[in-house]
């Protein structure tokens, strides 16, 4: 088994140099490149192509955007409302969208990765959850061994909902925690007691959920090493199979409520790195294995096994071993990845409704990947997931010469004071290896292979910072 040192020293100079805005690469090219040139007609074409491969499996993502209150740190596409009729209307349109997408995909129906995300999917009533699942299972066949996951907020999820989800075949839960410290919770407008989380966690276990993930965030306002250590201790006691430790994405130009955070309350890059290293150290000592740039999993978990065999993959739903060749996204703002093109739905409800009322699908924008994009996407996914790039595998898969195609990138990596000299990356004749230090900065390593970044001014506020 590969050994992973638990303590990694980063000098202040390296931190200053590499803490800069950069993508998280949930897609390549990133959503910034999506354009309205890719419209509903283009999406119909992508769906028609996908339909020609009826036995290929699908991933299906369903976006449920509603929350009762806004957590001020939140970077997701959410709709804050307590008016139930808003959600009832939304669900009736969502049903129509699912039926239309499924009709265009006929006879392709098999789903191996299924996810309800948000917002807060458990904002839905029991009847609404049943009705949505009814439409999905009428239109698609969820494979018996599918990964069926849902994001649950312990503050608003009832035991009845957990029982129903289990009965409907969901087998994975992802619980939002972020931080248990009351001071941090007050500033992020998210009051969630440890007991509340523990109760739901333990109930879910008894209900038969054998795979539970917990989300934490480091870099939130007022977070400190001492208090974050307490959060880590409590989370480790729960023994979730997976834990995500996300870097707080501070993007106030996109999420205006984040402007309310006094910059003096936000941890510096040094403090942020310290918080992450604290978490990393705590989970490794507790027997978890590191997964990609920000996840940890118990050794028996399939993600941990995939790390050993370098077969880990990643899509908009996160790290996975069940990624299908095409991913369908339904619901407002959802992003799909179908027949070599990304397709994003309208982000505002009126436009989303309008398109469906016109008998169309609510595509706002998208992007058809070129041959070069496909190669770079593979390279970046390998780096982000497996910290290793087998040059020969890239050559065999795409019929290119690696060193010739990536001459500029290899030169950049090897430049004086570059990623190789600084110990982030090792270049071998057959492979590129991201070293333990480079894993903390893997977004910076991936950025070298991003063709689009070179054309962007580095001070343009588009992406969150890499640390």
Ligand X SMILES: C[S@@+](CC[C@H](N)C(=O)[O-])C[C@H]1O[C@@H](n2cnc3c(N)ncnc32)[C@H](O)[C@@H]1O
- Which residues make beta-bridge pairs with 59? 113, 327
- Determine if 244 is a binding residue for ligand SF4 (CB under 6 A): no
146: part of which helix (H) or strand (E)? strand 141-152
Q: Inter-axis angle of helices 194-206 and 159-167, to 10 degrees?
A: 30
x/- string (CB under 6 A) for ligand SF4, residues 123-162?
Answer: ------------------------------x---------
Q: CB under 6 A: which stretch of 85-93, 116-124, 425-433, 455-463 binds ligand X? A: 116-124
Which of ligand SF4, ligand X, none does residue 248 bind (CB under 5 to 8 Å by kind)? ligand X
Which of ligand X, ligand SF4, none does residue 70 bind (CB under 5 to 8 Å by kind)? ligand SF4
DSSP 81: -
Q: Inter-axis angle of helices 269-285 and 225-238, to 10 degrees?
A: 30
- Determine if 76 is a binding residue for ligand X (CB under 6 A): yes
DSSP 264: G
x/- string (CB under 6 A) for ligand X, residues 130-159?
Answer: ---------------------x-x------
> What's the CA angle centered on 233, arms 229 and 238, to 5 degrees?
150
If DSSP codes are grouped into helix, strand and coil, which group holds residue 436?
helix
- Among positions 10, 58, 60, 67, the unique one binding ligand SF4 when judged by CB under 6 A: 67
Which of ligand X, ligand SF4, none does residue 249 bind (CB under 5 to 8 Å by kind)? ligand X
- Among positions 23, 29, 119, 292, the unique one binding ligand SF4 when judged by CB under 6 A: 119
- Whether 291 and 359 have beta carbons less than 8 Å apart is answered as no
99 CB-near residues (< 8 Å, 6+ apart): 135, 139
- Which residues make beta-bridge pairs with 434? 425
What is the spatial distance between Cα 234 and Cα 220, in angstroms, rounded to a whole number? 18
85 CB-near residues (< 8 Å, 6+ apart): none
- Among positions 26, 31, 42, 70, the unique one binding ligand SF4 when judged by CB under 6 A: 70
x/- string (CB under 6 A) for ligand X, residues 241-280?
Answer: -----x-xx-------------------------------
Which of ligand SF4, ligand X, none does residue 217 bind (CB under 5 to 8 Å by kind)? ligand X
- Among positions 118, 267, 362, 438, the unique one binding ligand SF4 when judged by CB under 6 A: 118
- Nearer to ligand X by C-beta: 291 or 410? 291
Residues from 158 through 217 that contact ligand X (CB under 6 A): 176, 178, 215, 217
- Nearer to ligand X by C-beta: 274 or 412? 274
- Determine if 121 is a binding residue for ligand SF4 (CB under 6 A): no
Q: CB under 6 A: which stretch of 114-122, 223-231, 241-249, 453-461 binds ligand SF4? A: 114-122
- Determine if 71 is a binding residue for ligand SF4 (CB under 6 A): yes
- Determine if 120 is a binding residue for ligand SF4 (CB under 6 A): yes
Q: Give burial (CB, 10 Å; 0-12/13-18/19+) of 276.
A: buried
- Helix intervals (H) in 110-261: 126-139, 159-167, 182-187, 194-206, 225-238
Question: CB of 240: closest distance to ligand X in angstroms?
Answer: 13
The β-bridge relationship of strands 172-178 and 211-218 is: parallel
Closest to 155 measured CA to CA, from 126, 198, 114, 117: 198
- Whether 247 and 272 have beta carbons less than 8 Å apart is answered as yes
Q: CB under 6 A: which stretch of 115-123, 125-133, 167-175, 357-365 binds ligand SF4? A: 115-123
- Whether 377 and 383 have beta carbons less than 8 Å apart is answered as no
For 364, the token pair is 């706002």
Question: CB of 117: closest distance to ligand SF4 in angstroms?
Answer: 9
- Nearer to ligand X by C-beta: 220 or 304? 220
H helix count then E strand count, the chain: 17, 19
Which of ligand SF4, ligand X, none does residue 462 bind (CB under 5 to 8 Å by kind)? none
What is the spatial distance between Cα 314 and Cα 113, in angstroms, rounded to a whole number? 12
- Determine if 332 is a binding residue for ligand SF4 (CB under 6 A): no
- Determine if 441 is a binding residue for ligand X (CB under 6 A): no
- Nearer to ligand SF4 by C-beta: 257 or 271? 257
Question: CB of 176: closest distance to ligand X in angstroms?
Answer: 2
- Nearer to ligand X by C-beta: 151 or 373? 151
Q: What is the CA radius of gyration of the chain?
A: 22
- Whether 335 and 315 have beta carbons less than 8 Å apart is answered as no
Chain residues binding ligand SF4 by CB under 6 A are 67, 70-71, 74, 76, 78, 118-120, 153, 176
């Amino acid at each position: 088994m590969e050994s992973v040192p638990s303590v990694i020293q980063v000098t202040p100079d390296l931190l200053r140099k590499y803490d800069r805005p950069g993508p998280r690469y949930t897609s390549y090219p990133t959503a910034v490149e999506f354009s309205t040139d890719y419209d509903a007609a283009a999406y119909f074409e992508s769906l028609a192509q996908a339909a020609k491969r009826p036995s290929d499996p699908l991933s299906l993502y369903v976006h449920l955007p509603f929350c009762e209150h806004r957590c001020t740190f939140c970077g997701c596409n959410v709709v804050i409302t307590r008016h139930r009729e808003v959600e009832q209307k939304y669900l009736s349109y969502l049903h129509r969208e699912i039926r239309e997408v499924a009709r265009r995909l006929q006879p392709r129906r098999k789903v191996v990765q299924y996810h309800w995300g948000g917002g807060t999917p458990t904002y839905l009533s029991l009847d609404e959850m049943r009705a949505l699942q009814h439409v999905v299972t009428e239109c698609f066949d969820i494979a018996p061994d599918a990964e069926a996951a849902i994001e649950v907020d312990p503050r608003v999820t009832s035991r009845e909902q957990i029982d129903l989800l289990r009965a409907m075949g969901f087998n994975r839960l992802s619980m939002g925690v972020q931080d248990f410290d009351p001071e941090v919770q007050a500033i992020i407008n998210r009051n969630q007691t440890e007991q509340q989380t523990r109760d739901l966690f333990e109930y879910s276990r008894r209900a038969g959920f054998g795979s539970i993930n917990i989300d934490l965030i480091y870099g939130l306002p007022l977070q400190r090493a001492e208090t974050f250590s307490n959060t880590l201790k409590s989370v480790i006691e729960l023994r979730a199979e997976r834990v995500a430790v996300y870097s707080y994405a501070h993007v106030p130009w996109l999420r205006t409520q984040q402007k309310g955070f006094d910059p003096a309350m936000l941890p510096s890059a040094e403090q942020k790195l310290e918080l992450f290293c604290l978490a990393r150290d705590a989970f490794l000592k507790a027997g978890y294995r590191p997964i990609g740039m920000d996840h940890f999993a118990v050794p028996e978990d399939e993600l941990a096994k995939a790390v050993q065999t370098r077969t880990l993959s990643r899509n908009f739903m996160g790290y996975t071993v069940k990624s299908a060749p095409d991913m369908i996204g339904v619901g407002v703002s959802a992003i799909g990845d179908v027949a070599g093109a990304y397709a994003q739905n309208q982000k505002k409800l009126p436009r989303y409704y309008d398109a469906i009322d016109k008998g169309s699908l609510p595509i706002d924008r998208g992007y058809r990947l070129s041959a070069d994009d496909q190669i770079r996407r593979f390279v970046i996914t390998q780096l982000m997931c497996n910290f290793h790039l087998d040059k020969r595998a890239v050559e065999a898969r795409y019929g290119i010469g690696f060193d010739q195609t990536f001459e500029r990138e290899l030169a950049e990596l090897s430049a004086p004071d570059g990623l190789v000299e600084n110990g982030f990356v090792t270049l071998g004749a057959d492979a590129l290896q991201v070293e333990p230090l480079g894993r903390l900065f893997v977004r910076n390593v991936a950025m070298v292979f991003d063709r689009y970044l070179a054309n962007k001014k580095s001070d343009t506020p588009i992406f969150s910072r890499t640390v």
